[in-house]
Amino acid sequence: MWPWSELGLESTDDVRAIKKAYARLLKQTRPDEHPEAFQRLHQAYKDALASAQPQYHQPAPTLAEPAPLESTKAAQEPSLASGLFQPLNHAEDKPPPNVDPFPGQPADETPFQPDNQPPDNKPFLDKTDGEPSYLKSAVIKLEQEPPPQIDIDTAKTVRGRKILQFVRGGRSTAAPPPIDSTPAAGYGLRILAFALDMLVIALVLIIGQFVWAKTMGNAGLPLWLAAPALYPLTALLCEGSRMQATPGKRLLGLKVVNPDLMPLSQLHNAGRFLVFVLTTALLWKGIWLINAFLHGRLLHDRISRSYVVHVRHLGG
Amino acid sequence: MTTIGIDLGTTNSACGVWTKDGVKLIPNRLGEILTPSVISLDTNNELIVGRGARQRLINHSDRTVATFKRLMGTDHTIFLGRMGFNATELSSLVLRSLKEDAEAYLEEPVSSAVISVPAYFNDNQRQATRQAAELAGLKVERLINEPTAAAITYGLHQKQEGMFLILDFGGGTFDVSLLEYFDGVMEVHASAGDNHLGGEDFVDAMVANVLAQNQLSRDTISALDLQNLYLQMEGAKRKLGPGQTLTLTLGKKTIEFEVTQDWFIEVCTPLLLRAKTPIERALRDGKIPVSSIDDVILVGGSTRLAPFRSMVGRMFGRLPSCHIDPDTVVAMGAAIQAGLVMRDEALDDVVLTDVCPFTLGTAVANEPYDRDLSYLPIIERNCVVPISIVRRLFTASHNQSVVRVNVYQGESPDIKKNIFLGEIKVRVPKGPKGDEAVDVRYSYDANGILEVDVTVVSTGVNRQLVIERAPGALSDAEKQAARAKLAGLKFHPREGEENRMLVARAERLYESSLDHRREFVGKLLDHFHYALDRQLPHEIEQAQAYMKDMLNQMESENWF
């Protein structure tokens, strides 16, 4: 696009004229009223400026690292340091403009960056040899490793306590875990799931034995009787998989989750398995009775802090 | 109907209004310009906002909360007593208090406001600020970036023209903006910032250092001791000068701790170095040579820190300016912007152009490297707003039936490191890959609010982004509930505010003193209560003045 016609100017190097023209036109095309016309005008203005002053397209200089001063140096010059901090503390009471807040230091010693000097690769902050003494107490001890960056934006999105240290007062808690508002699957459903699992395991065993007998000859004992013993193993394998449920639970739309409604970690799942085996071995038939009174949060769920919920409560 | 300008800060808030004779800052019910952003709930479930609440931070720390602005845009809940609040609700309480102060001062209803937010606030945080205002019964005319507000004050109020670099170092955020003011045009060239770097972090670092030196952790000392330690460190930070000795109570032991400048500088250097990154980025993005910057302007209370000033002095080789009170300059700018929005004739010939301080983009699968999704920037950071950009994207696999557009904010090529803002799904007709296309349009307006809109090219189906579960965002039903909850809370009656503040202050002093000092404060309190009970206005006035005088003498450090 030809910027000059948009700005109503002849091609010029006069930055002042370009700015004047832009300012005049901008007042007729306010950004909130004519967004598209404004974008065009702004682009034309930028292009015009770029052709008028090529240095605008050079990358801006990178500010130098503050020269690594040893903190011991400051310790040797305590009077200097306090000399700096004293007037600065007073400077906070709105010093009038153009009054040097450092009395005693001639103003022309302030190290202004020389104007019009092209931004070269030698950052001006390295030129610290001639710096006035009061700037020396800007003691920045530069560590070699980069400053610790707290990755707050990540921390914020993870529910946890990390961010809460930034708030003072109040009893700050994270939002309650989503499991609190998610109902557990009922006992009846869990029994049904268990029965279905038994059926599935027994079926697999029967078919397996049938195939075995066809190819290798009869094995004798009805193998499906081993189904109850295989149940915990099935649970361990299936609930730790991406299915998050035994076949019976899956058929009924149940899933095993942690308090954040996420899949269990392998370790968590192994813990759940262990708790299940131990409680069952310890209480044997009593476990049926106890679980009947636990509102669907069965003994091993409770101990292992895992949850069995219906997928419709998981929100997709 | 008036529009006021509000600076809703991490530590302090303030508000102002544009009048025929320029900006007027509005004093609160205590006659002060700054209202600390602190909320406390007393045992009758009555709200205390501001200085009175700040006094309660120590001895009622379980019912008082400060610096909650840092949680804006998240769904964390803070409990005051038994009631839980999120940051949006807490902010709305501060806004409500400011609104009432303004109404009392202007003697007319106030229903709309211009509110300043850190330039580097993301979309979620801006939405949360908007909702806070809505809950407080204020219509948000405009969200203005804090450095921009400061620049308006310097540019319009002081009639300075030229290129400014504004460093806004507040209680919780650090913002950098590069601006130019000429011929009635206020142009922002670049903004950058660190959302989690502020004065509170310095105090935090000091506290952490003291605890580490004594082999203690936050959990091992009581909340009361911790709050005390925070306040002592805050005071030490403000008075930083020749070494001062503090007596700290840490759990069972009491130690003498000397706060020296060297120690402070050592503790704070990592934080100061973090402040350099955004300064460099703003200069690079603005493509402005350092030599053409006419003035470096300091805004925000934390810029009073001597080491910070020295660092800035070193970086630019000149002394930064701060001839307008850095605590109120943002509120003044917001008030001027409010005047601009109302198109007051005195401001009619000023136009403000701002930029989008961060990159907004989406995730795409790039062949042949489509192992992972990669980041596709759509609106590049620091381009002038309002802006609207369309990118055409194509289906990535055969028979793809749904195109999902994820909306991200951030600079990292790794999408996981960027902030996820929301997603839109649209159905597309099935076909070979690359056959179907969607036009993704990102529009970013002057308030810093993003709109994403996706159109399927072949069918013309159009979807707009509704960020469904942005953290902290409220649905309409939740908004109603929050409004009902907040409406049930009553502010303390205005008349009693000053007295209550004095009582709270004396109580705090009583708890932190010993022996005759404590006894004396006790006597003062008795005397004051006696005067209050007699309910004779002139006696109360006298007692107030005496009490204030005495308390001021006792804590010569006036950092509350």
- Residue B219's contacts (CB-CB under 8 Å, 6 or more residues apart) are none
For residue B171, what is the nearest residue in chain A, using CA coordinates? A166
Residue type for B317, please?
A: G
The pLDDT value given to residue B25: 94
Note if B325 is an active site residue: no
A146, pLDDT greater than 80? no
Q: What is the pLDDT of residue B27?
A: 93
CB of B123 closer than 8 Å to CB of B448: yes
Shortest CA gap A106–chain B (Å) = 13
SS3 B378: strand
Q: What percent of chain B has pLDDT over 70?
A: 91
Does B388 sit within 8 Å of A35, measured CB to CB?
yes
Report residue B66's pLDDT band, with 50, 70 and 90 as the boundaries: confident
Which residues of chain A have a CB within 8 Å of the CB of B276? Answer: 63
Pick the catalytic residue: B134, B146, B194, B507? Answer: B146
HSE-CB of A198 using CA atoms within 13 angstroms: 10
DSSP state of B321: B
Give the list of residues 6+ apart from residue B130 with CB closer than 8 angstroms, or none: B140, B143, B449
Percentage of chain A modeled with pLDDT above 70: 57
Nearest to A170 among B80, B242, B318 (CB): B80
What pLDDT is stored for residue B492 in this prediction?
A: 62
Residue A36 contacts residue B390 (beta carbons within 8 Å): no
- DSSP lists the bridge partners of residue B22 as B19
What is residue A224's predicted lDDT score, i.e. its pLDDT? 73
Q: Which H helix or E strand runs over A182?
A: none
Q: What pLDDT sits at residue B26? A: 94
Which residues does chain B have within 8 Å of residue A170's beta carbon, measured at their own beta carbons?
A: 61-65, 68, 78-80
Q: What is the mean pLDDT of residues B14-18?
A: 93
What residues of chain A lie within 8 A of the CB of B291, using their CB?
113-117, 119
Query: CA A234, CA A227: separation in Å to the nearest integer?
Result: 10
Closest of B196, B243, B153, B241 to residue B67, by C-alpha? B196
Contact A111 B317 (CB under 8 A): yes
B196–A89 CB contact, under 8 Å: no
Provide the pLDDT for residue B42.
Answer: 83
**Residue B241 and residue A170: Cβ atoms within 8 Å?**
no
Q: Who contacts B120 (Cβ-Cβ below 8 Å, separation ≥6)? A: B173, B175, B191, B192, B193, B194, B195, B278, B357, B358
Q: Over the stretch A62-75, which tens digit does the pLDDT of each residue have?
A: 444 443 333 333 33
Helix axis angle for B223-238 and B199-213, nearest 10°, is 120
Q: What band does A138 get if pLDDT is binned at 50, 70 and 90?
A: very low
Point out the least confidently predicted range of A14-23, B438-447, B496-505, B519-528.
B496-505
Taking Cα atoms as reference points, which of B354, B346, B352, B376 lies closest to residue B363?
A: B376
Residues A189-217 have a mean pLDDT of 85
* Alpha-carbon gap, residue B426 to B437, rounded angstroms: 11
CB B70 within 8 A of CB B196: yes
Task: Let me know: does B248 contact B232? Beta carbons within 8 Å.
Answer: yes
Q: Is A181 exposed, middle or buried (0-12, 13-18, 19+ CB in 10 A)?
A: exposed
Q: For B324, name the nearest residue in chain A, comparing CA atoms only.
A: A94
- Residue of B59, B266, B290, B417 best to disrupt the A interface, most CBs of A under 10 A: B290
pLDDT at A180 over 70: no
Minimal C-alpha gap between B74 and chain A (Å)? 7
Q: Which residues of B71-88 are buried (b: 16+ CB within 10 A; e: fewer)?
A: bbbbbbbbbbbeebbbbb
Residues of A in contact with B318 (CB under 8 A): 110-113
In this structure, are residues A258 and A248 in contact, taking their beta carbons and an 8 Å threshold?
no
| Separation CA B262–CA B22 (nearest Å) | 44
Q: Using CB atoms, pick whichever of A26, A35, A119 lies closest to residue B185.
A: A26
Give how far Cα B202 sits from Cα of A13, A78, B10, B169, B199, Å.
Answer: 48, 22, 14, 12, 5
**Between these two residues, A200 and B514, which has the higher pLDDT value?**
A200
Q: Report the range of poorest mean pLDDT among B94-108, B204-218, B415-429, B461-475.
A: B461-475
Cβ contacts of A85 on chain B, cutoff 8 Å: 240-242, 261, 306
With cut-offs at 50, 70 and 90, classify the pLDDT of residue B204.
confident
* pLDDT for the residue A93: 38
CA distance B148 to A203: 73
**DSSP per-residue string spanning chain A:** --HHHHHT--S---HHHHHHHHHHHHTTS-TTT-HHHHHHHHHHHHHHHHHH-GGGGSPPPPPPPPP---HHHHHH-HHHHHHHHHHHHHHTS-PPTT--SSTTS-GGGS-PPPTT----SS-GGG--TT--HHHHT------SSPPPPP-HHHHHHS-SSGGGGGSEESEEEPPPPGGGGSPPPPHHHHHHHHHHHHHHHHHHHHHHHHHHHHHH----S-GGGGHHHHHHHHHHHHHTSTT-S-HHHHHTTEEEE-TTSSPPPHHHHHHHHHHHHHHHHHHTTHHHHHHHTSTT--HHHHHHT-EEEEGGGG--
Cis status of the peptide bond prior to B368, with omega within 30 of 0: yes
pLDDT band at A134 (very low <50, low <70, confident <90, very high): very low
pLDDT score at B540: 81
Q: At B323, which amino acid appears?
A: H
For residue B407, the surrounding DSSP H or E stretch is: strand B402-409
A35 → closest Cβ in B276, B289, B386: B386
Is B276 one of the annotated active-site residues of the chain?
A: no
Cα-Cα-Cα-Cα dihedral sign, residues B209, B213, B214, B215: positive
Among partner residues A30, A114, A175, which is closest to B77 by beta-carbon distance? A175
Residue B450 has pLDDT above 90, yes or no: no
pLDDT tens, position by position, A18-65 = 999 999 888 888 888 888 889 889 989 988 888 887 655 444 444 444
- B199, pLDDT greater than 80: yes
Task: Decide: helix, strand or coil at residue A145.
Answer: coil
**pLDDT mean over B221-246:** 79
Is cis: bond before A259, omega within 30 of 0?
no
Which one of B75, B309, B318 has the shortest CB-CB distance to A112?
B318
- Burial string for B202-225 (b: 16+ CB within 10 Å, else e) reads bbbbbbebbbeeeebeeeebeeeb
Which listed residue (B123, B168, B285, B497) is catalytic? B168
| Per-residue pLDDT, A285 | 80
The Cα–Cα gap between B499 and B30 comes to 10
CA–CA min distance A302, chain B (Å)? 26
pLDDT classification of A103: cutoffs 50, 70, 90: very low
Per CB-CB distance under 8 Å, the chain A contacts of B204 are 165-166
pLDDT at B15: 94
Residues in chain B: 560
Contact B320, A147 (CB under 8 A): no
CA distance to partner chain A, nearest, from residue B398 (Å):
25
Q: B-chain residues within 8 Å CB-CB of A17?
A: none
Asked if A89 and B240 come within 8 Å (Cβ–Cβ), the reply is yes
Interface test with A, best of B141, B319, B343, B469 (most A CBs within 10 A): B319
Q: Please indicate whether, in this complex, the C-beta atoms of B317 and A171 are within 8 angstroms of each other.
A: no
